[in-house]
Structure 1
Amino acid sequence: MQRMFIAWGAVLMALSVAIGAFGAHMLEDRIGADALAVYETGVHYHMIHGIAILITGLLAGVSGNSRGLFWVGTLFIVGTIIFSGSLYVLSISGIKWLGAITPIGGTAFIAGWIALMVSALSGRRQSR
């Protein structure tokens, strides 16, 4: 689990840099300021949660694999794909109904942070 989350975190971080650079250099003149702000929000949350996934992998290495940490990392990955992904597509395509999907990713982020708190407070090691 440790290696899997570190790998996922590294890939998502690399993508966040590439996607952010694409937005800064290729989209700035092609989409409006409001759409660019939406895109940048996606990059911001993408990067924060890429780091959170890396930290989850490191925690699994220090404290051992647990069902709780498995769900933390999984929720952060799903949240990044849904939240940031929907904002990227929304800002580039203008498809407004994608805005209804974004909160699902945000909910996954919140659930991941709560799962991290529960995992930290439980102090139990469980093999997954």
Structure 2
Amino acid sequence: MMAGAPARGRLPLLAGCVLAAVGIALGAFGAHGLRNLLGPAELGWWQTAVQYQMWNAVGLVGVNGAGLSRNGLPTTLLVAGTLVFAGTLYLMALTGLRWLGMITPIGGVLMIAGWLLVAWRVWRG
């Protein structure tokens, strides 16, 4: 996007960059700060959270680069889905509250809906 473009037009880029930066930090924290504190299952949840967060971050940067109009709803679904999905896994790993695993799929559904909406908008032109 060009300088001076509306901020909402750059929303996927902004969201992708922030999610990526936080994902890198959380990945490093998990690899170095938590490896001796958490069990294998918890570290697996942490890694899954980081992985999905990073994939969606990269995808949001790509959505921005594609120059799609009306990208606000897909961006909202992808960010919300990532926060719910990864956030519940991070919390589950740190707290052991396994009931959070019942909420995690809601984030997955939001991410799927976001990507399907992106695909629909690409298809429609």
State the TM-score, normalizing by the size of structure 2: 0.90
Unpaired runs of at least 5, structure 1:
124-128
Q: CA deviation at 1:4?
A: 2.0
Q: CA deviation at 1:70?
A: 1.9
Q: CA deviation at 1:115?
A: 0.4
Identical positions, percent: 36
CA offset digits 1:38-59 (Å, max 9, x no partner):
1100000000001111112222
Structure 1 runs (4+) deviating above 3 angstroms are: none
Corresponding position of 2:120: 118
Corresponding position of 1:43: 50
| Letter matched to residue 75 of structure 1 | L
Query: Residues 1-128 of structure 1: matches in 2 within 5 Å?
Result: 1-60=8-67, 63=68, 65-66=69-70, 69-123=71-125
Q: CA deviation at 1:71?
A: 1.7
Corresponding position of 2:4: none
Tell me how large the CA RMSD over aligned residues is.
Answer: 1.0
| Letter matched to residue 48 of structure 1 | W
Write the distance in 1 (CA, Å) between the matches of 2:36 and 2:103: 26
Write the distance in 2 (CA, Å) between the matches of 1:80 and 1:74: 10
CA contact (8 A) 1:72 1:113 kept: yes
Write the distance in 2 (CA, Å) between the matches of 1:120 and 1:97: 37
State the TM-score, normalizing by the size of structure 1: 0.88
CA offset digits 1:68-110 (Å, max 9, x no partner):
x222211110011000010000011100110011000000111
Unpaired runs of at least 5, structure 2:
1-7
Between Structure 1 and Structure 2, how many residues are aligned? 118
